[in-house]
Structure 1
């Protein structure tokens, strides 16, 4: 395996089994899972409805055909996603991952606008491929400056910068919109293809624009014919609690949305839902060999049905509030906590030097080890690697939310 394939923890763990919202490692230790395979095991482990749907497909003997044949599961799932998206005349194309989904959306946008110019957000992450890295704005994740796109990065999730500190949401949004207008007036040559943005930045440590910023951006973009791509790989399917897709918190219907991760509850699936005219436009033949294969579609249909039938968006709002309210109440006791942020079951703790307030990645590493020792799995992110980011399965119970909150607070006490 390559050296850059990083593993969590000083003594990495192997997860060998799971049930509900807990996993067990090879040594037999059990953990409450607050990271869900990077937001992917969205409804937990060993879910009967998903397992049985996959087993039914396996029993047919058909695990793969490719898109040169009709795939009933694709059509059924596409109809659900198109309806939920709110995008007019929506069509769906399935891929294997979020990276590939973002590549597809960028292709559609640059084809439609006949331009290689793209706007993206500072601190963003959109995947590890050549095109996706070019719209990623985080030095830790960029291997080179080469790019198939001409990219300009916008403000919107960087309120820690000196020029924005102390601004109200309205004033910050106004400053960001002024900057967008200035970029369009000075840095581009007209005919910008699209803005691609995460409603909540995943690798960025769950930093986010204030609600309403993307509506203000879209007003400017629409006047210039610039398309809007919402990267919902981490924010989709009700995770924020307050909306089914993250961009809906801004009152925006984008031209395209990309998705992946949780939809398959561990099975590889991604895709793009876009306006029909954009999806139909490319003139060359296209297909997906593995994208939307029959087994992944069985899992994804079962997962989405489970999310909707159990109203897991409401559960995310309810259990997320227990954790976020508890963390915010505890935070003043800990000078090492610079910020607590999030929506629903998508939340982060930013760790800082208690004397200077500077980002403290070493403290974050200690906190990772401490939560692991206490029986909870968490993730790490942030521009400087100093934010603990967590996104438990949407099936988290209220008792598990309180249990996890207690572990998180105890871990802060232990490293303070």
Structure 2
């Protein structure tokens, strides 16, 4: 492994991080478990960053891909009819709830968000965009511009004029004394003030229903509905970034924005749709999608192999009602993890469906503790569990297991997490770092 790590560092950029003091090479997987190059097997609660929706070695996906490969056609481009692309677009358009929806396929969430921003800014004739503090929308020039998370913001230069809104920072000193409704009212008042004073012609608000990279920070129920009332008054479009929240993962809605009782003008998606195969896209109002005046293609977007994988994945999610399973297993896990709130080093346990997180802080000062979260990440691996890390301060353990997780696997992972965090908290026997 040390040889591979040296080779990696010689040719890969330093800004692309690797987890763990001794980085992991995953070489095989089955179900919700993966095996590393040294033969050790782990329960996977991160799923390739919420991407392996069904887990690993899923017969239905593998066979769909193999059938397409057997035809000898891996790629044709969007200049030709692709039956599987049309069929998948029809399903997504129907499931979206967006009136007269159309779909454009891309290769990633970053590219999907770029496309949605293009649609909105052209439609409104404006480069002004609203985004949320703490958000993450991708690594390209345009999506970094609307990312409100400094850990992932490589440039302050921007092709857009961006204004950041409050909404997922209720615990901050400025707002924590407010009730949930008072917090919503303050956020909406701030939105109105931004529109009145600093943003005369906004194209859109782009927002995650639940902020993935920001450790699953969650806006209060009703916030986006209240925001949309204001947006509609000004003709401002709403883009829901569903790259991590789509396909029933939150447990209570097939698309995350549905939990807020809002139908957006456009939704972006990627990650979990292909169960590991590269696929992303935008589903939007037909008039919005058709509004661009110039031609456009996505050379690899919607290619036959990715469409075969995505179609099989979506069918599996629907036929096995994995949204209900996400709610069931997520409830088991989060209810159990709430016991960790009694620890001085745990500020919060939160989650919706199979998206849940543990926020770690210094037990003496209450300040965000990236080092403590890092130790917990390592300790979970030692116990045979893979988890992720996020948050603006890198102090949040975040988990998004495959949605095929069984009850036994949910309990197993929950118990490992309980033991992991308690062991880190009690490292010196005092409950302090």
TM exceeding 0.5? yes
TM-score with structure 2 setting the length = 0.95
Deviation at 1:5, TM superposition (A): 1.3
Query: Which residue of structure 2 aligns with residue 267 of structure 1?
Result: 277
Alpha-carbon distance between aligned partners in 1 of 2:408 and 2:340, rounded to the nearest angstrom: 18
Alpha-carbon distance between aligned partners in 2 of 1:139 and 1:169, rounded to the nearest angstrom: 26
Residues 115-142 of structure 1: per-residue CA shift (max 9 Å, x gap): 0000000010000000000000111111
Alpha-carbon distance between aligned partners in 2 of 1:221 and 1:408, rounded to the nearest angstrom: 41
Say whether residues 1:400 and 2:426 are aligned partners. no
Deviation at 1:329, TM superposition (A): 2.6
Query: Which residue of structure 1 aligns with residue 364 of structure 2?
Result: 355
Choose the corresponding residue for 2:384, options 364, 375, 378: 375
Query: Which residue of structure 1 aligns with residue 267 of structure 2?
Result: 257
Alpha-carbon distance between aligned partners in 2 of 1:110 and 1:152, rounded to the nearest angstrom: 14
**Superposed CA RMSD:** 0.6
Query: Which residue of structure 2 aligns with residue 305 of structure 1?
Result: 315
Deviation at 1:188, TM superposition (A): 1.0
Query: Which residue of structure 1 aligns with residue 196 of structure 2?
Result: 185
Alpha-carbon distance between aligned partners in 1 of 2:103 and 2:299, rounded to the nearest angstrom: 16
Choose the corresponding residue for 1:277, options 287, 303, 314: 287
Deviates more, 1:92-101 or 1:279-288: 279-288
Query: Which residue of structure 2 aligns with residue 336 of structure 1?
Result: 345
Choose the corresponding residue for 2:250, options 230, 235, 240: 240
CA contact (8 A) 2:340 2:349 kept: no
Query: Which residue of structure 2 aligns with residue 231 of structure 1?
Result: 241
Alpha-carbon distance between aligned partners in 2 of 1:308 and 1:211, rounded to the nearest angstrom: 26
Query: Which residue of structure 1 aligns with residue 219 of structure 2?
Result: 209
Deviation at 1:331, TM superposition (A): 2.5
Alpha-carbon distance between aligned partners in 1 of 2:137 and 2:405, rounded to the nearest angstrom: 27
Deviates more, 1:380-389 or 1:160-169: 160-169
Query: Which residue of structure 2 aligns with residue 122 of structure 1?
Result: 133
After superposition, where does 1:106-121 map in structure 2 within 5 Å? 106-121=117-132
After superposition, where does 1:163-174 map in structure 2 within 5 Å? 163-174=174-185
Query: Which residue of structure 1 aligns with residue 331 of structure 2?
Result: 321
Query: Which residue of structure 1 aligns with residue 431 of structure 2?
Result: none
Deviation at 1:81, TM superposition (A): 0.3
Query: Which residue of structure 2 aligns with residue 384 of structure 1?
Result: 393
Residues 78-100 of structure 1: per-residue CA shift (max 9 Å, x gap): 00000000000000000000000
Q: Give the SS at the match of 2:94.
A: helix
Deviation at 1:320, TM superposition (A): 0.1
Query: Which residue of structure 2 aligns with residue 62 of structure 1?
Result: 73
Residues 243-299 of structure 1: per-residue CA shift (max 9 Å, x gap): 111000000000000000000000000000000000001110111100011000000
Deviation at 1:382, TM superposition (A): 0.3
Deviation at 1:412, TM superposition (A): 1.1
Deviation at 1:162, TM superposition (A): 1.1
After superposition, where does 1:120-199 map in structure 2 within 5 Å? 120-189=131-200, 191-199=201-209
Query: Please, which runs of 5 or more residues in structure 1 have no aligned partner?
Result: none
Query: Please, which runs of 5 or more residues in structure 2 have no aligned partner?
Result: 1-11, 426-433
CA contact (8 A) 2:340 2:346 kept: no
Q: Give the SS at the match of 1:91.
A: strand
Deviation at 1:201, TM superposition (A): 0.5
Deviation at 1:49, TM superposition (A): 0.4
Deviation at 1:143, TM superposition (A): 1.4
Q: Give the SS at the match of 1:203.
A: coil
Q: Give the SS at the match of 1:68.
A: coil
TM-score with structure 1 setting the length = 0.99
